[in-house]
Structure 1
Amino acid sequence: MKKLVVYFSASGITRQRAEELAAAVHADLEEIKPAVSYTPEDLDWRNKQSRSSLEMTNESSRPEILNQKRDLSAYDTIYIGFPIWWGVAPRVVNTYMEMNDLAGKDIMIFATSGGSPIGYALDHMKKTYPELHFVGGKRLSGPVTEDIL
């Protein structure tokens, strides 16, 4: 059973958790890379005109990513990680999910957040992608150990 940890990180925190998770579960690692990196100004959630605010208030927004479509047939389990934005995954994560075939995979989401729980983000994923098999989700607020997921 091969595993893949896929993640988007805007500030480096999710990257750190993804690297720890990949090591703990003996998984390959892939970063979701936006075509245009997010600047601190883009991430200013208090500014209704910031890039992240505009993307997150538009449910159909799918920011371009540098990743190419990937053959995921060798993987049984895919962990998808992201910082929680507006209670859910950043739209750039949706771009990755929609360009790759995740059917038949066990999908576990993980997220980083200063305080938002994972439940709403997981429910939103299940609602957005009802054809996929989500096996759970976890907010990673500290170092990852083998028994965490």
Structure 2
Amino acid sequence: MSLLAIASALCASEAFAAAGGTLVVFYSRSGNTRAAAKIVQESLGGDIFELKTVRPYPADYRETTEVARKEQKENARPALQTKQAPKLSRYDSVILASPCWWGTFPMAFMTFFEANDLAGKKVAVLMTHGGSGLGRSEEDLAKYCPKAKLLKGLAIYGGDVNNAEEDIEEWLRDIGVK
């Protein structure tokens, strides 16, 4: 076998191994959503990408909710340290893990949606919340990513994240990414 044939075979096998993977994109202020995102990532063996705002939200929860409310009213696009997901073309599926702020994603996700094309990808939402469930996150996702293949979302009460592994595993199987 020639060196060129070996190199081609290696490249093809690496491309095949990378194709079809799942990327977990998450934002977490308190750590609850980070914990849920890590459960998903470890379950799937996929990659993980954290959205980090340039300007952090306040440490105080109530102050954060007011900033989040103001951002929604102003349709803000908070600056992210890195907007572009790494090698997004490698993934067939994207799981978006987010806290539910005022019924939807933090506006940092809107910055992400505008910088990353999720067209043709299977996309599902995992929301951590304090009582609002998924809110209108799935409707907003459909609006911002109209060409994505939207899958059923999962809501996890924030305080229950550490006990949600079975629920997350079942959800991943139900939506067909595991």
* TM-score (structure 1 length as normaliser): 0.87
**Aligned partner of 2:105 among 70, 75, 89:** 89
C-alpha distance in structure 1 between counterparts of 2:62 and 2:56, whole Å: 11
Deviations 1:35-75 (A, max 9, x none): 111113575266xxx422210222x3110001142321110
C-alpha distance in structure 2 between counterparts of 1:45 and 1:134, whole Å: 29
Q: Residue 56 of structure 1 aligns with which residue?
A: 72
* The structure with more helix, counted as a fraction of residues: 2
Q: What is the Cα deviation at residue 120 of structure 1? A: 2.0
Structure with higher RCO (Cα < 8 A, 6+ apart): 1
Q: Residue 78 of structure 1 aligns with which residue?
A: 94
Letter of the structure 1 residue corresponding to residue 150 of structure 2: F
Contact 1:42–1:52 (8 Å) recurs in 2: no
Q: Residue 9 of structure 1 aligns with which residue?
A: 28
Please list every run of 5 or more consecutive structure 1 residues that lacks an aligned counterpart in the other structure: none
Secondary structure at the aligned position of 2:97 is classed as strand
Q: Residue 31 of structure 1 aligns with which residue?
A: 50
Question: Identity of aligned pairs, percent?
Answer: 30
Contact 2:41–2:48 (8 Å) recurs in 1: yes
Q: Count residues in correspondence.
A: 145
Deviations 1:80-115 (A, max 9, x none): 111001101110011111101211110011110011
Secondary structure at the aligned position of 1:103 is classed as coil
Contact 2:33–2:99 (8 Å) recurs in 1: yes
Q: Residue 148 of structure 1 aligns with which residue?
A: 171
Q: Which is worse superposed, 26-35 or 133-142?
A: 133-142
Please list every run of 5 or more consecutive structure 2 residues that lacks an aligned counterpart in the other structure: 1-19, 173-178
C-alpha distance in structure 1 between counterparts of 2:170 and 2:142, whole Å: 24
**Aligned partner of 1:102 among 118, 129, 134:** 118
Stretches (4+) displaced over 6 A = none
Q: Taking structure 1 as reference, are residues 95 and 43 closer, same or farther at Cα in structure 2, changes over 3 Å only?
A: farther
- Bigger radius of gyration: 2
Secondary structure at the aligned position of 1:81 is classed as strand
